[in-house]
Structure 1
Amino acid sequence: MLAPSRLMATARFVPLPIAAQVANTVLKQTLRIHPKLFDRLGEYRTARFAFIPNDFPFSFSIRPADRAMTVMRRGKLPMADATISGPLVLMLALAEGRVDGDALFFSRKLLVTGDMEAVLALRNALDDNEVDLVSTISRLTGPFGEWSAKALDLVRRDALEKQGVPWN
């Protein structure tokens, strides 16, 4: 099986349009499963959130009201009202509610800047919906869903273990 570090290294060869298509497909699938995901954001639905992994060749920006994601190569900073940066696996685990966000913030494993109220609203919205990205992505693989879920779960667990972060 590919280790998470090999997956990260391989990602730099992915063309930007393909990375953007994959990210938006996962977002759309997530919104199909959780159609009210952004409802709890209230006034922050129009805020722009940037996610800048420090170990991945792409950065992401989302404005929940648009229900679409902008993907750019790392180094090009997206305009944002709030920004979260750190290892990609920690940001994904945070989106799933699998890690303690406060602990990651105070241990400086994740850096949060900008409108903290917007970030808190986003965190609450994600916590309310119990997002499971492994399940979401696996649904996109058709007859390979069960196999891909097992493989992705192993990759996720290994990546979190390597970050030294306990599973919530």
Structure 2
Amino acid sequence: MLASPVASDRTSPLPFLRFLPLPLLQPILTLIGTQVAKAQPDVFLRLGPHALKSFIIDPTDLPFVLMLKPRPEAPSLSAWRRDDAPYSHARIAGTFLNLFDLIDGSLDGDALFFSRKLRVTGDTEAVVALRNALDDVDGGVVETITNAFGPLSGIAAMTVSHLRTFGGRKNHE
């Protein structure tokens, strides 16, 4: 582990995830990782040598972390119990909603970092490269993720809309 997570400043928007066995979450994460890689292959070019690194995404108000390995030949996204998380080159920790809004592009990573609502440890150059690559995604990563659900993309979009309004956040269309 590279660092302890930042303290949660909100309740989790998805409290049921506390009881979800991680193997049930894995097919969804695999779908997300595969579809983002398929829809946005330029992300790997933007990452350069950092595409071969691993990142822990730590939503501090959820009972697990995500391991992102953006390898061009076999990208993966997997869930781990926080205490069992494998080694990573970098760790990005914050509340689920702050991380979601960061990926969604509705919050500025620098502002979160300097307000101490986001903690970055490990290879910060790799984290900056990841952030820049995600910022350059046409249409945004969240849209790519919701589209990955095919016939269920409408339900995924409604879930995203709910997340955007959770805790007083306004809806982004």
Q: TM-score range by the shorter chain?
A: 0.7 to 0.9
Kindly report which structure 2 residues correspond to 1:65-104, keeping only aligned pairs within 5 A, or say none. 65=71, 66-104=74-112
**More moved, 48-57 vs 90-99:** 90-99
- Structure 1 distance, partners of 2:87, 2:164, is 29
Residue 140 of structure 1 is matched in structure 2 by 149
**More moved, 27-36 vs 99-108:** 27-36
- Structure 2 distance, partners of 1:34, 1:24, is 15
Q: Which runs of 5+ in 2 are unaligned?
A: 1-9
The offset of 1:7, in angstroms, is 5.0
- Aligned with residue 160 of structure 2, among 152, 156, 159: 152
The offset of 1:158, in angstroms, is 2.0
The offset of 1:147, in angstroms, is 5.1
Identical columns (%): 34
Alpha-carbon spacing, 1:99–1:37, altered in 2? closer, same or farther (3 Å): same
Residue 40 of structure 1 is matched in structure 2 by 46
Residue 22 of structure 1 is matched in structure 2 by 28
The offset of 1:50, in angstroms, is 0.7
Residue 129 of structure 1 is matched in structure 2 by 137
- Structure 1 runs (4+) deviating above 6 angstroms are none
The offset of 1:69, in angstroms, is 1.6
Q: How many positions carry a matched residue from both structures?
A: 159
Give me the TM-score of the superposition, normalised by structure 1. 0.82
Higher helix proportion, which one?
1
Residue 106 of structure 1 is matched in structure 2 by 114
Q: Which amino acid aligns with 1:37?
A: V
Give me the TM-score of the superposition, normalised by structure 2. 0.79
Residue 5 of structure 2 is matched in structure 1 by none
Q: Which amino acid aligns with 1:116?
A: T
Q: Which amino acid aligns with 2:39?
A: I
Q: Can you list the C-alpha shifts for 1:62-119, whole angstroms capped at 9, x where unaligned?
A: 2211301231113323311110011112112212322110000000111000111101
Secondary structure in 2 matching 1:38: helix
Q: Which amino acid aligns with 1:25?
A: L
Alpha-carbon spacing, 1:37–1:160, altered in 2? closer, same or farther (3 Å): farther
Matched, 1:49 2:49: no
Secondary structure in 2 matching 1:95: helix
Instruction: Provide the aligned C-alpha RMSD in A.
Output: 2.5
Secondary structure in 2 matching 1:51: strand
**More moved, 52-61 vs 125-134:** 125-134
